[in-house]
Structure 1
Amino acid sequence: MKKMKFLFYVMLVMSFVIAGCSSSSNSTSGNKDEGGNSKSSSITIKFGHSSAPNSARDLGAQKFKEVVEAETDGQVKVEIYPASQLGNPTEIVQGVQMGNIEMVISPTSFMGGFQPLITLLDIPFLMPKEKEKLLSLQDSDAMRQLLDQTESVGIKALGIWHTGYKQFTGPKALNTPEAFKGLKFRAMPSPVIFEQFKTLGASPTDLPFAETYNALQTGTINGQENPLDTTYDMKLHEVQEVTTLTDHGVLDQLILVNKTFYDGLDQSIKDAMQKGFEAGRNVTVEKTYENIENVRKTMEASGMKFVEISDDERKVFVEEMQAVRDFYVKEFGDEGKKLLEAIEKAIE
């Protein structure tokens, strides 16, 4: 009798083990489609950025998620991590390079420490000042050739999301190169941006953006550059007196993917990601300009003075900033010169 009970318990345990193995096998092999063929296992994309929830960039990321998940029938899940949850801008780019993060939205300037050829996009007064011409340039073969340079460091650039033209803020109007002399500016970690301020006679400081408000308030720095909505979001207008409208550059965002991860995807998923990229770009641009229009009125009402440079003043800046273009060519040699000349030709 005892022997029979023992055999019964052994058979019961074995049945649970077999059932468990069967369940595990089904979960890893994937579901079947209508034709009885196996579908690939689900894929999760961690998508990080440093902007606030519901900002223009975050809304673009949400649109990307919506489109990609719909196009892949839920096979791909996109998890969005805003507000630097996965690290600061430099750390999240490094995370993509190492494969710890699948995707990020990053300002072009933060590629300076990974693939500095990309900082061509930081050359002041280079980009078209008309939005539609800029968007056309970003879809050009010349721009694709430049963005492909990130692949040499293990990163795939899907493309660019435009997030507004940069303006200078400071304690006074900055409508001439001479006005910059002796001032200290917060600068993103791009050799080209550092050279921009040095050429103007100002001192650049690589300061974390989160620390910029206090630095301006205490006088550690005197000014900064950003699109109006970014300046407003960080409340920098509260500690600055004048915004000079120069449209001297763009604070545009690279949509970056780990190259090994991207290369391993089926073409159908890559196509879905491209659709998501384009839909997200449209949402980001629309929301950015809506925000810029609204915040200027609010900033003016709070006492911020706005100064717009004249055409003649712009010409003086363009001539002065030729030295920054020359710096880029000298710094990056024939390869940099070839990329820059292709962009300039596309602009023309």
Structure 2
Amino acid sequence: MNKKLVALFSILFFVVIVLAACGGESEDASSEEGNDDGSSEETVTLTLAENHPDDYPTTVGDKKFAELVEEKTDGRYEIEVYSGGQLGEESEVLEQVQLGTIELARVNAIPLTEFSESIGVLSMPYLFEDEEEKWEKLNGEVGQDLLGTLDGSGLVGLTFYDSGERSFYNNVRPVETPEDMEGLQLRVQSSDLAIAIVESLGASATPMEYGEVYSALQTGVIDGAENNFPSYYTSNHYEVAEYFTVNGYQGTPEVLLGSQDLWDDLSDEDKEAFKEAAMESVDVQREAWAELTEEAREAVTENGSELIEVSDTEEWREAVQPVYDEYGDQYSEWIDRFTE
């Protein structure tokens, strides 16, 4: 073979190699850019703010929600949960969610009354007959309609999470009936409704920061307070207030929510996926809450607390009727729907 033919074959071989390489690069680029219809397969990463620790029940619920969203959207959306208040306190987080700088958050329902007065109904005493009725209503149509009252605030309510039932505890005497509350000085949250509830039961209400309660109990500034079992235990209040009346007078839930900016960017299909994921995460969150409550209950009992079980709350419900007389008109529509 003469030199000209050798050169020609060499050139042809080089051209084939180059074309093959270019074809491979074109195929790779196409798979990265998306499908033939132009849609992108790139994963969108979202942020969810949580102010409780990593192993707390609401955080457990957040993580299950994130897992389900990724699963239901075939990996197109990934949610990173920032627990322990890394992104700020609830008030700061709510502002960021409204602005769209944080896409998702878990907050208590109480601060949401700033954006929807109607949500305040969830703090009314003895609103539900029992836990079964409560969660049937919150997970049902009326609960979703209540979340819908956030429309126009820049916030979108996805579902409710459990935060337990609040009860009274003190260091003076066992409290079995409303009459036993007479004369007790109890710490409450700084809200007119919280004060009205305690005073309707014959006790005196003292609004106070939560961090001051232990020393106030210890020094006799107050006789007692109110909260759920996990808080009673983790705050060590059981050390200075040994009588815990298990009567679950109030159970304001937590709320998982998103920003309006995020919601407007989602397709109808993805909105449905996010809603389904939120609702399906509730059982996991509530199971984690039940386990934590039982652990706290056992711990305070072992450490000497006396638990006074109230099996019939009828007389307690009658005692707080003045609260319904005062606030009933404000929440009448929702009280009717939750109790019908």
Instruction: Give your verdict on TM over 0.5.
Output: yes
What SS is found at the alignment partner of 1:268?
A: helix
Give distance in 1, aligned partners of 2:221 and 2:87: 28
1:343 paired to 2:338? yes
Matched, 1:151 2:142: no
* 2:332 maps to 1:328: no
In the alignment, is the contact (CA less than 8 A) between 2:51 and 2:84 conserved in 1?
A: yes
CA-to-aligned-CA distance 1:19-44 (integer Å, 9 cap, x gap): xxxxxxxx9x9944454633165433
Structure 1 residues 115 and 190 mapped into 2: Cα distance closer, same or farther (>3 Å)?
farther
What does residue 18 of structure 1 align with? none
Taking the aligned partners of 1:159 and 1:139, their CA distance within structure 2 comes to 7
Q: Distance in 1 between matches of 2:265 and 2:212?
A: 39
Counterpart of 2:205 in structure 1 is: 203
Question: Are the aligned partners of 1:185 and 1:221 in contact in 2 as well (CA < 8 Å)?
Answer: yes
Alignment of 1:195-274 (within 5 A): 195-200=196-201, 201-205=203-207, 207=209, 209-274=210-275
RMSD: 2.8
1:221: how far off?
4.2
Partner of 1:37, secondary structure, is coil
Paired with 1:189 and 1:150, the residues of 2 have a C-alpha distance of 23
- Give the TM-score normalised by structure 1: 0.79
Seen in structure 2, the aligned counterparts of structure 1 residues 224 and 94 have a Cα distance that, compared at 3 Å, is farther
SS at match of 1:248: strand
Q: Supply the distance in 1 between the matched residues of 2:95 and 2:223 (Cα, whole angstroms).
A: 30
Counterparts of 1:343 and 1:72 in 2: how far apart (Å)?
33
1:121 matched to 2:92? The reply is no
CA distance, structure 2, for counterparts of residue 235 and residue 142 of structure 1: 37
- C-alpha displacement at 1:128, in angstroms? 2.4
| Alpha carbons 2:122, 2:252 under 8 Å: kept | no
- Structure 1 pair 88–199 and aligned structure 2 pair: CA distance change class (3 A): farther
Letter in 2 for 1:342: R
Change in CA separation of 1:219 and 1:78 when aligned onto 2, cut-off 3 Å? farther
Query: What is the TM-score with the length of structure 2 in the denominator?
Result: 0.81
Distance 1:36 1:151, change over 3 A: closer
Measured against aligned partners, the alpha-carbon deviations of 1:168-213 in whole angstroms (never above 9, x if no partner) come to 2222333333444454444345543232123234214152x45544
How far 1:99 moved relative to its partner?
Answer: 2.8
Kept in 2: contact 1:97–1:154 (CA 8 A) = yes
AA in 2 matched with 1:339 = W
The 1:187–1:96 alpha-carbon spacing in structure 2 relative to 1, beyond 3 Å, is: farther
User: Residue 169 of structure 1 corresponds to which residue in structure 2?
Assistant: 169
Tell me, what secondary structure is at the counterpart of 1:254? Answer: strand
Q: Is the 8 A contact 1:226 1:251 kept in 2?
A: no
Where structure 2 has 5 or more consecutive residues not aligned to the other structure, the ranges are 1-28
The answer on whether the counterparts of 1:135 and 1:162 sit within 8 Å (CA) in structure 2 is no
5 Å matches for 1:266-345? 266-311=267-312, 314-330=313-329, 332=330, 336-345=331-340
User: Which deviates more, 255-264 or 239-248?
Assistant: 255-264
* Shift, 1:214, TM fit: 4.2
Give, in whole Å, the separation in 2 of the partners of 1:320 and 1:344. 18
In the alignment, the residues of structure 2 paired with residue 116 and residue 168 of structure 1 have an alpha-carbon distance, to the nearest angstrom, of: 26
> Contact 1:108–1:252 (CA<8 Å) still a contact in 2?
yes
Counterpart code for 2:110? S
| Distance in 2, Cα, partners of 1:217 & 1:342 | 43
CA distance in 2 between partners of 1:197 and 1:214 (Å): 21
SS of residue matched to 2:248:
coil
Specify every segment of 5 or more residues in structure 1 that has no aligned partner in the other structure, as ranges: 1-26
Q: 1:289 to 1:78 in 2, by over 3 A?
A: same
Contact 2:97 2:258 in 1 (8 A): yes
CA distance in 2, matches of 1:143, 1:344: 12
Would you say the 8 A contact 1:109–1:188 is kept in 2? no
CA 92–31 in structure 1, closer or farther in 2 if over 3 Å, else same: same
How many angstroms apart in 1 are the aligned matches of 2:220 and 2:95? 32
Count of residues in Structure 1 that have an aligned counterpart in Structure 2: 311
Amino acid in structure 2 at the alignment position of 1:338: E
Structure 1 residues 238 and 35, CA, compared in 2 at 3 Å: closer, same or farther? farther
Contact 1:228 1:295 in 2 (8 A): yes
AA at the equivalent of 2:135? L
Answer yes or no: is 1:85 the counterpart of 2:86. yes
Greater Rg by CA: 2
Paired letter, 2:338: I
Map of 1:61 onto structure 2: 62
Residue 231 of structure 1 and its aligned partner are, at CA, apart by: 2.3
In structure 1, distance between residues paired with 2:70 and 2:155: 22
Q: How far apart in 2 are the matches of 1:67 and 1:154? A: 24
